[in-house]
Amino acid sequence: MGTLVHIASYVASPYSGYVYPNETVLPWGVLIVIYPYITGLVAGAFIVSSLYHTFRLENFKPVARLALISAFAFLCFAPMTLLSHLGHPERALEAIWTAHWTSAFAAFGYVAGFYAVLLMLEIWFAFRADIVAMAQSAAGWRRRLYRVLTLGSYDVSERALRYDHKWATALAALGIPAAAGLHGYVGFVFGSLKSREWWSSDLMPIIFLLSAVVSGVAALVVIYVVSSMVRKTKLDQKCMRGLAWVMWGFLIVTVVVEGLEYVEMFYRRLEGIDVIEQLITGPIWAGLTIQALCSVIPLVILSGLLAWRTQGRTLTFWMSFSAVLMMVAVLAMRWNVVIGGQELSKTARGFLTFYPPLWGREGVVWALSLFASSFVWLWFLVRLLPPWERAETAEANPETSGVVDGVPAWESARVSEEGA
């Protein structure tokens, strides 16, 4: 009886039409919305790190290693949303032991696993000098942990540091297509589903990838600003302007490409376009409005900041404000894609309205808890491996810290290599 009343409420809606009882439950909820969102933060943060380690753009030096740590922290929690969504998460390994290559989901384990190994290796080479220093200066359990992390390598000579830098640079270069593949795959999963008119688009992987970089850079801006406030250190203005250019560039390309998708969709008038029009003006109009406003407003603000060469606190405030709006815009985009595609019935004759539960395994509270846990994990990693230009332990033992005249060993090695 309850199901019949539920269906009747949909039929009574001006956008409902006709739906079958098996369509009253959306299999992909809030956790599947959060999953591509977190993986997007991974890709965006890693791209910023590679701008320094690979392309030698000095503006991004203050956040290069922070971006690496952030990417790893987010990567650790991206699979947690999927595992929590599964009824039996212990069965997830079956997709790896018994690979089925015709399934895009089965390939994710290999894509994410490869990227995770690559990211851990790059972090180890980038932080090895600091790890050695802290293994010699720390005490208690931290000393034992750092000794394990050294993997038995205590050589911090100039030659060894140049070797570390070469490997970090090579891994950063390899990580760029790997990061693109990691999140482009998520867009491919949706774009390749022909059964849903709202998902089936050749531009879906590109839009997911571009928006991932936008959200990742925006998250990194917020992390950099907040961490500087906590540490009571000044923000590097060149770095902030560099991040502003990256945010502005990727945002404008994302807006243009997504706009082209809508133009192409309505210009070609493909089969089912009438239903999509009703979907846009019906169930997901609020999400699309939030996405549009939170994209256009930061675009205008960033254009003004860059045109007027704004500096100081004004630049910091408006960049932080724009970054938060951009993160909300990308989250709304993920919601519109994942939930919006399921609100359109399989028969294309009716629509559903999804109301996310507050509690439970698929609830909003649990999804936000997983998302917040990634930032808690990031805080722990930053305490374990300080990503700043000079590690905290350098002041305690400068002779073995890998810091010479205030310059970190990894940085002096890079300078020496360029000079050679």
Residue 316 has pLDDT above 90, yes or no: yes
pLDDT-above-90 percentage for the chain: 55
Domains of the chain and any CATH numbers? 27-419 (1.20.1630.10)
Query: pLDDT-based confidence at 315, cuts 50/70/90?
Result: very high
Residue 420 has pLDDT above 50, yes or no: no
Q: How many CB atoms lie within 10 A of CB 280?
A: 18
Residues 352-362: what's their mean pLDDT? 87
The DSSP code for 344 is B
Single out the residue of 157, 48, 114 nearest to residue 413, CA to CA: 157
Query: pLDDT-based confidence at 1, cuts 50/70/90?
Result: very low
Residue 235 has pLDDT above 80, yes or no: yes
- Which residues, at least 6 apart from 135, have a Cβ–Cβ distance to it below 8 Å? 143, 146, 147, 149, 150, 154
Confidence (pLDDT) at 13? 43
The predicted model scores a pTM of 0.87
Tell me the C-alpha distance between 46 and 168, whole Å: 13
Residue 100 has pLDDT above 90, yes or no: no
Tell me the C-alpha distance between 409 and 60, whole Å: 18
The DSSP code for 25 is S
Confidence (pLDDT) at 283? 84
3-state secondary structure of 404: strand
Tell me the C-alpha distance between 181 and 112, whole Å: 9
Residue 161 has pLDDT above 70, yes or no: yes
Q: Exposed (0-12), middle (13-18) or buried (19+): which is 390, by Cβ within 10 Å?
A: middle
Residues 186-193: what's their mean pLDDT? 80
Residue 390 has pLDDT above 60, yes or no: no
| Pick from 133-142, 197-206, 250-259, 293-302: least confident | 197-206
Tell me the C-alpha distance between 275 and 343, whole Å: 11
- Which residues, at least 6 apart from 5, have a Cβ–Cβ distance to it below 8 Å? none
| Pick from 64-78, 80-94, 226-240, 381-395: least confident | 381-395
Terminal-to-terminal C-alpha distance of the chain: 79
Query: pLDDT-based confidence at 266, cuts 50/70/90?
Result: confident
Confidence (pLDDT) at 16? 53
* Residue 280: C-alpha distances to residues 13, 42, 211, 274, 338 (Å): 15, 29, 20, 10, 14
Q: Which one has a higher pLDDT value, 228 or 186?
A: 228
| Pick from 14-23, 145-154, 200-209: least confident | 14-23
Residue 297 has pLDDT above 90, yes or no: yes
Single out the residue of 166, 88, 49 nearest to residue 413, CA to CA: 166
Residue 73 has pLDDT above 60, yes or no: yes
3-state secondary structure of 154: coil
Burial 174-183 (b: 16+ CB within 10 A, else e): bbbebbbbbb
pLDDT tens track for 12-66: 344 456 777 767 778 889 999 999 999 999 989 999 999 999 998 999 999 999 9
- Beta pairing partners, 407: 404
